[in-house]
Amino acid sequence: MFDRPATGERAVLVQMDLGQGAIEERLSELELLATSAGATVEAVVRGRRSAPDSALFAGSGKVQEIAEALQAHGGDLVIFNHALSPAQQRNLERSLSCRVIDRTALILDIFALRARSHEGKLQVELAQLQHLSTRLVRGWTHLERQKGGIGLRGPGEKQLETDRRLLGGRVKLLKSRLAQIEKQRRVRRRARERNDALTVSLVGYTNAGKSTLFNALTKAGAYAADQLFATLDTTSRRLFVGGGNVVLSDTVGFIRDLPHALVAAFEATLEETAHADVLLHVVDAASEDRDAQIEAVNRVLEEIGAAEVPQILVWNKIDLTHAAPAVERGDCDRIRRVFLSARTGEGLELLREALAELACRDALPGSGAADPVGNQPIQ
């Protein structure tokens, strides 16, 4: 008998090499996601395939290896660092006799843990229900029969159909409530535009230090922690700089292969980013995977319609790389990158000066997405 870990469920992680590259970074990120969700990583199973198996994703031989790892470590669940189809998930659970979740479900679970505001909770629930809608058969297989018997005679609906109908009604209600919140957001946005305040959104890969930078600039006391998706709810504060007023917003962090259900559910929140005057793209300068992270952020920005918003790369955590605070300029003397440490405060004054310069409205950086190595935006 295995003792239950105090920190959560025992998890076996599965990472398949399908030719996507950066396998070590992907696996390290999966371990962080699993621990952020409260799981204890007991074993990691790796494999290589040219393409996913249609029935089991990993293939029968690899599934047997996963089963052995589960038995050896008393595992409670298996986490795939990939998107599984409903059929693949169902087949894997039957073969392994335990719960199997994919990357999308894991990220949704973390979002559910982190959501604090009313809007954030509504958005997460909507994303979860949309993801669940294709997987209802797993939960109701044993009830897929016509209702009958005294006191149970109904309209002839199967339980699965009833649940889908109820789920559809809940999704419709959530969308209606979020639409109302978005109307209120638009009113606030128009008020800011009338006040002629420069709107700046912090964007970047999860755990790049956006909330720490936001707190350092505004003294807002927003929650910041060394964990993935510490921030879900957008927080805005007015910042006074030499060139005028700036409305600075802290937003949810992005991640590679961000589930489309999340992007759709958080559309209203992410729309704030698309309507910003300038994006401060915060980069973890100490990460060996920073180039791929910059690229992943720019892909999400393109998906939400924010690819054309001017951006400045903020090279954060220079205290870990021993780099010096600096401002890098490009064509027409426009600001391209600022090197700083939000934790120690090095270079913060340079960023304030950059924001003051931007607030003059005649010095916005050139638009366009940053190139893959993050040197400067492509013209």
Question: Annotation-wise, does 28 bind a ligand?
Answer: no
Could you tell me if 79 and 220 lie in one domain? no
pLDDT, mean of residues 192-197:
64
Could you tell me if 88 and 224 lie in one domain? no
Q: Which residues of 135-169 are buried (b: 16+ CB within 10 A; e: fewer)?
A: ebeeeeeeeeeeeeeeeeeeeeeebbeebbeeeee
Q: Which residue has the higher pLDDT, 157 or 70?
A: 70
Question: Annotation-wise, does 316 bind a ligand?
Answer: yes
Residues 224 and 220: their CA atoms lie apart, in Å, by 11
The answer to the question of residue 149 being in a domain is no
pLDDT in tens, 239-274: 888 767 888 988 877 888 777 767 776 766 677 788
pLDDT, mean of residues 84-113:
90
Question: Annotation-wise, does 163 bind a ligand?
Answer: no
Q: Which of 56, 83, 101 is the last residue of a domain?
A: 101
pLDDT tier at 225, thresholds 50, 70, 90 = low
Assign 316 to helix, strand or coil.
strand
Looking at residue 19, its amino acid is G
CATH number at residue 309: 3.40.50.300
pLDDT score of 373 more than 50: no
What is the DSSP code string of 238-288? Answer: EEEETTEEEEEEE-PPB-TT--HHHHHHTHHHHHHHHT-SEEEEEEETT-T
Mean pLDDT of the chain: 80
Q: Which of 40, 74, 101 is the last residue of a domain?
A: 101
Nearest to 314 by CA among 278, 288, 289: 278
Beta bridge partners of 246: 198, 239
Question: Annotation-wise, does 183 bind a ligand?
Answer: no
List the structure tokens of 172. Answer: 């419709």
The answer to the question of residue 233 being in a domain is yes
Could you tell me if 92 and 236 lie in one domain? no
Residue 340 is part of which domain span? 196-359
pLDDT score of 6 more than 50: no
Question: Annotation-wise, does 206 bind a ligand?
Answer: yes
Question: Annotation-wise, does 252 bind a ligand?
Answer: yes
The answer to the question of residue 4 being in a domain is no
pLDDT tier at 367, thresholds 50, 70, 90 = very low
Q: What's the pTM? A: 0.74
The answer to the question of residue 232 being in a domain is yes
Whether residue 355 contacts residue 224, with contact meaning beta carbons closer than 8 Å, is answered with no
Question: Annotation-wise, does 236 bind a ligand?
Answer: no
Question: Annotation-wise, does 273 bind a ligand?
Answer: no
Question: Annotation-wise, does 208 bind a ligand?
Answer: yes
Half-sphere exposure (Cβ direction) of 315: Cα atoms closer than 13 Å: 26
pLDDT score of 362 more than 70: no
Q: What is the pLDDT of residue 131?
A: 80
pLDDT in tens, 281-309: 999 999 888 998 999 899 889 888 899 99
Could you tell me if 91 and 224 lie in one domain? no
Could you tell me if 219 and 342 lie in one domain? yes
The answer to the question of residue 111 being in a domain is no
Cα dihedral sign for 358, 361, 364, 368?
A: positive
Q: What is the pLDDT of residue 142?
A: 40
Question: Annotation-wise, does 343 bind a ligand?
Answer: yes
Phi and psi for 337 in degrees, rounded to 5?
-140, 145
Could you tell me if 211 and 79 lie in one domain? no
Q: Which of 48, 83, 101 is the last residue of a domain?
A: 101
Could you tell me if 206 and 355 lie in one domain? yes
Helix 103-114 to helix 23-36 angle (10° resolution) is 40
The answer to the question of residue 72 being in a domain is yes
Question: Annotation-wise, does 321 bind a ligand?
Answer: no
Question: Annotation-wise, does 289 bind a ligand?
Answer: no
Most confident of 111-115, 239-243, 320-324: 320-324
Question: Annotation-wise, does 284 bind a ligand?
Answer: no
The answer to the question of residue 19 being in a domain is yes
Q: Which residue has the higher pLDDT, 194 or 356?
A: 356
Could you tell me if 322 and 210 lie in one domain? yes
> For 148-193, what is the HEC assignment?
CCCCCCCCCCEHHHHHHHHHHHHHHHHHHHHHHHHHHHHHHHHHHH
pLDDT in tens, 335-360: 999 999 999 999 999 999 999 888 87
pLDDT tier at 275, thresholds 50, 70, 90 = confident
Question: Annotation-wise, does 253 bind a ligand?
Answer: yes
Beta bridge partners of 13: 44, 79
pLDDT in tens, 48-84: 999 999 999 999 999 999 999 999 999 989 999 999 9
Question: Annotation-wise, does 243 bind a ligand?
Answer: no
Q: Which residue has the higher pLDDT, 333 or 160?
A: 333
Helix 348-359 to helix 210-218 angle (10° resolution) is 80
pLDDT in tens, 125-139: 888 888 877 776 544
CATH number at residue 56: 3.40.50.11060
Could you tell me if 340 and 217 lie in one domain? yes
Q: Which residue has the higher pLDDT, 201 or 259?
A: 201
pLDDT tier at 203, thresholds 50, 70, 90 = very high
Question: Annotation-wise, does 342 bind a ligand?
Answer: yes
Question: Annotation-wise, does 319 bind a ligand?
Answer: yes
Whether residue 267 contacts residue 304, with contact meaning beta carbons closer than 8 Å, is answered with yes
Question: Annotation-wise, does 251 bind a ligand?
Answer: yes
What is the DSSP code string of 22-64? Answer: -HHHHHHHHHHHHHHTT-EEEEEEEEE-SS-BTTTBS-HHHHH
Our count of domains for the chain comes to 2
The answer to the question of residue 77 being in a domain is yes
Question: Annotation-wise, does 209 bind a ligand?
Answer: yes
Question: Annotation-wise, does 369 bind a ligand?
Answer: no
Whether residue 278 contacts residue 365, with contact meaning beta carbons closer than 8 Å, is answered with yes
